[in-house]
Amino acid sequence: MGNAYAQAESQNLSQNLSQTASQAMVQAESQTDSQTLSLADLQQRLAAQTLVRGDFVQTRHMAMFNAPLVSSGHFLLAQDQGLQWQQTVPFPVSLILTQDKLSQQFADSPAQVVDAKDNPMVFYFSHLFLSLFEGNTQQLTEQFTVSLTTPNAKEQADGARWVLTLTPTAAPLNAVFEHIRLSGDQFIDQLILTEKRGDVTEIAFSHQTTIPATLSKEEQRAFQL
């Protein structure tokens, strides 16, 4: 019995050491990747993905509500067209954002289309979000102090290999946001917007893919606002 106990303890110790070593290797790889990755490298990595589809879960923590507001759906980012945001839960909403137009449609209601000249402030923030989704670090550095760092333990466990923290430097952004945080690897996997008033919006992306590499006819029509 003593030998069996000793053998079991030895096996447990071996497994623990193996797991610790594996975790250390993952952390070391993450730190190395983050330390060697420059803003230019990150821009190039994200810009190479000219067409990305995936799913999202958005969680909004608002001071006026006890429970977070959660929504989910699908997205399509085409760098030469814009962003299509299809919320399916808790109710259907379709949002299409291009460089000069914004379309919003609730369920089967007619779509409401706004031009950039009609509401410049809306498009100021809309273009900001396009820059965020596209990882356009060059444009972002014009409005934010940008910090590229190593992900924390939780972010590493979720697969993140870099974290980009944006701190606004001028109005109107610095009156709205405390900071914006993006993290990911080959894609942007998480976006967190922390507002001055304390509200926090977390968007988790999953199932991102660059295939198919072209828009369908239906998707092309959606961007023709």
Q: Can you give the pLDDT of all 225 residues of the chain as single tens digits?
A: 544 444 444 444 344 433 333 333 344 344 444 457 888 898 888 888 899 999 999 999 999 999 999 999 999 999 999 999 999 999 999 999 998 899 999 988 999 999 988 888 888 888 888 888 887 887 888 899 999 998 888 888 888 899 999 999 999 999 999 999 999 999 999 999 999 999 999 999 999 999 999 999 999 999 998
Separation between Cα atoms, residue 82 and residue 182, nearest integer Å: 19
User: Which residue do the tokens 């000069």 mark?
Assistant: 100
Among 192, 127, 199, which residue's Cα sits nearest to residue 166?
192
Pair (18, 96) in one structural domain: no
Q: Give 49's DSSP letter.
A: -
User: Which residue do the tokens 């965020």 mark?
Assistant: 132
Pair (86, 179) in one structural domain: yes
Amino acid symbol at 184: G
Is residue 123 helix, strand or coil?
helix
Range of the domain at 8: 1-36
Separation between Cα atoms, residue 214 and residue 98, nearest integer Å: 17
Q: What is the largest CA-CA distance in the chain?
A: 82
Pair (22, 53) in one structural domain: no
Separation between Cα atoms, residue 57 and residue 194, nearest integer Å: 17
Number of domains comprising the chain? 2
Pair (13, 71) in one structural domain: no
Among 70, 98, 94, 62, which residue's Cα sits nearest to residue 83?
98
Pair (98, 9) in one structural domain: no
Pair (24, 100) in one structural domain: no
Pair (138, 44) in one structural domain: yes
pLDDT digits (tens, 9 = 90+) for 24-68: 334 434 444 445 788 889 888 888 889 999 999 999 999 999 999
Full-model pTM: 0.80
